[in-house]
Chain A
Amino acid sequence: MAQVFGPKANTLARLSLLGAFGGAALFMIALVIYSRSPYPAFIQKSPDQPVPFSHQLHAGGLKIDCRYCHAGVEVSAAASVPATQTCMTCHSQIKTDSAALAPVRDSWATGQPVAWNRVHDLGDFAYFNHSIHVAKGVGCSTCHGQVDQMAKVQQVEPLTMGWCLDCHRAPEQYIRPADQVFNMEWVPPADQTEQGLKLIQEYNIQVSRLTNCSICHR
């Protein structure tokens, strides 16, 4: 009777077994590497907004301070997007016929809020408080990038836990003097580490506590 399996069948069997296990292992490793990389977290997220608000114009060109609109950033956990009333403080008189501003005018007239699409979105399992970061010398551009040069807000940092921990473990690399917090053009000086350590003393930052799980995972 003819053999069903030829002499190469053994080799084939062994190779395919190794290949299967090896392939599975490689796949798992690839998956882990991919999920820990920045790509799946934010993929350069920049959703469209109902109103094409340009930070480049308002914050960059007109030099309106961040806090004029994001008023809660120094006192509250949420930086807060401005109310329609804030937009209307200028746009009741400037560009009153602009089609791009129609949703703002409609909101003002009808009392329905403008539905902005969130760009920087942490998971609901993580608690983030803006006011403490601003108070302790973390600048806006450190996490949000140079917003005053963005025509459309784009997320430039991954905002993953690992990325947050990079700073929480070594805040001296990232913090800046209080008067520079809202300065979008600030770059860390050459002696950032030394300056940073001084600032840690000055702001009374307890670095050992920054890696406590429950400061974010309440």
Chain B
Amino acid sequence: MSDEPLNLEKIRARLADARGPQYWRSLDELAATAQFRDFLDREFPRQASEWNDPSPVSRRRFLKLMGASLALAGLTGCSFEQPQEQILPYVTKPDPVVPGLPLFFATAMPLGGYATGLLVRSNEGRPTKVEGNPDHPASLGATDVYAQASLLTLYDPDRSQRVTSAGQPRTWEDFLAALNGALTPLRSNGGAGLRILTEASTSPTLAAQMQALLTALPQARWVAYEPAGDSARLGTQQAFGQDVHPVYRFEQGPRGAVARRRCAAVHAGARALCARHRRRALDAGRREHDEPDLRGRVGADDHRGAGRPPAAAARQRRRGVCPRAGAGTGRRGRAGRGARRRARAAGWKGWSRICRPIAGRALLIAGDSQPPAVHALAHAINAALGNTGTTVIYTEPVVTSPIDQAGGLRQLVQEMAGGQVQALLIVGGNPAYSAAADVDFAGALKSVPFSAHLSLYEDETSALTTWHIPRRTTSSPGAMRAPTTARPRSSSR
């Protein structure tokens, strides 16, 4: 830094006079040559706040200058001209698309296995809004919160985007290789050790494919687990001894539709649905009879009546007041069956006065969250009121996946914990999270050597399985069916 040689004598003399430790960064500093001082002043002005070079600038002036700069900086926003925009047209415009006009695509989305008819609005290929499909008999153009929210699922940045294994991204080919490796030994013993866990499904295609698989590998099992429960199916099974599907004909009962539903999410918006059906029926020219409306308005939710067991309901019926099923926590099994037997055997006071006039035009539906016994009771009441065949008909089952007989998942978990499961394929759902508290699915997963989870998100189950595959769409594999699409049975049930 300095051109002249350092005067070591001077430095030594300086240090000799020092008392205590002396610190220096370089010999030039120690030598304190004029050149070094110059350099230091330029490099590190000792009194920058006063800004002595070239003219005195006080802090006041400094602040004034900076304040003015800040204020005037806003001027850059003033512009009379807009920035140049570009127009990027299609290279090959798809025929039905008119830029600026939306297209509506008819589609469906599954909820609890059942399909909801939807019209999805698409602006230049981007889905922007979900509407109901007015031609679909199950919804008549209504949607629920899940359908509306499904649009956001399409754009959700948290959705998983790659195949992972133990947290590491892998390729699809890697997964296929691992899957093959896990399944090959199982083919020799008829698939014992292979379990496929799905959600409830109404897809005939999936059912056919699973049937083919189970025929080829007879020891494998297909388990369906729906977290919301299978009470409705179990209830009909209890009532009729076989798996049937009730189809409710709201339009048959223009005013007496008794729908005590507890906000069942699967059957979207019962209130609105009943109102739509009623409006449709009224538009079709039916006239209302001038009779007292016994059980309240169409589609009224039952928020009262919590804690009324079916036995009490049966007592009420005997007193001539038709009961409201949808009681909160009915006792299962014995009391339910007993109530049903009593109901069938009892003679009812006031039956001819109250219930007979509405027979055949009333409808009783138990909420989906009710225990199976209450569902069975509701079917019994409908049968007793003579509603079958008019307001409710029973068809072949729409849901094609196996009934989750309370023990379905429990049994699977037991097998998993017992080491009997070598390959577990989980299609959709999040059983590690949604299984009942006393069913240790998450723990049992550790005993399964190969497990794969197909899902939209990397969720609790994906974290525990050996493979996670991102799901591309929310729709189900194969077709879906809505609650009202099945053909009616030929019998007079």
Interface set of A (CB-CB < 8 Å, partner B): 35, 40-41, 43, 47, 71-72, 75-78, 80-86, 107-108, 111-118, 121, 123
Contact = CB atoms under 8 A, between A and B. Distances in A.
A80 B97 CA distance: 12
Contacts of B88: 113-116
Given A84-B91, A84-B92, A76 B86 contact: no
Given A40-B80, A112-B91, A118 B85 contact: yes
Contacts of B86: 115-118
Contacts of A80: 89, 98-100
A123 B82 contact: yes
A111 B98 contact: no
Contact of B93 (A35, A76, A83): A83
Interface residues of B, number: 17
B100 A72 contact: yes
B102 to A, nearest CB: 10
Nearest to B93: A83
B168 interface: no
A39 to B, nearest CB: 8
Interface class of chain A by DSSP:
loop
Contacts of B87: 81, 115-118
Interface of B: 80-82, 84-93, 98-101
Q: What are the 3 A-B residue pairs with the smallest beta carbon separation, nearest first?
A: A40-B80, A76-B100, A78-B100
A172 to B, nearest CB: 28
A84 B90 contact: yes
Contacts, number: 69
B333 to A, nearest CB: 60
B89 A114 contact: yes
Contact of A75 (B80, B89, B93, B101): B101
B110 to A, nearest CB: 34
A114 B86 CA distance: 10
B91 A108 contact: yes
A76 B91 contact: no
Given A35-B80, A40-B81, A47-B84, A76 B99 contact: yes
A37 to B, nearest CB: 10
B21 to A, nearest CB: 60
Given A77-B100, A83-B90, 7 more contacts: A72-B98, A76-B98, A78-B99, A82-B89, A83-B92, A113-B88, A117-B86
Nearest to A74: B98
A117 B84 contact: yes
A134 to B, nearest CB: 13
A180 to B, nearest CB: 24
B24 to A, nearest CB: 55
A102 to B, nearest CB: 15
B91 A85 contact: yes
A121 B82 CA distance: 8
Contacts of A43: 81
Given A40-B80, A118-B85, A83 B100 contact: no
Contact of B91 (A41, A72, A113): A113
A72 B87 CA distance: 15
B81 A75 contact: no
A117 B85 CA distance: 6
A77 B98 CA distance: 10
A174 to B, nearest CB: 23
7 contacts: A71-B98, A75-B101, A77-B100, A80-B98, A82-B89, A111-B91, A113-B91
Nearest to A85: B92
Contacts of B101: 72, 75-76
A111 B84 CA distance: 23
A103 B165 CA distance: 45
A208 to B, nearest CB: 27
A197 B340 CA distance: 78
A35 B81 CA distance: 11
Nearest to A73: B100
Contact of A41 (B80, B84, B93, B98): B80
Nearest to A80: B99
Contacts of A82: 89
Nearest to A130: B100
Nearest to B92: A85
Given A35-B80, A123-B82, A75 B90 contact: no
A48 B88 CA distance: 15
B98 A75 contact: yes
Contact of A72 (B82, B84, B85, B99): B99
Contacts of A108: 91
B103 to A, nearest CB: 12
Nearest to A76: B100
A40 B82 CA distance: 10
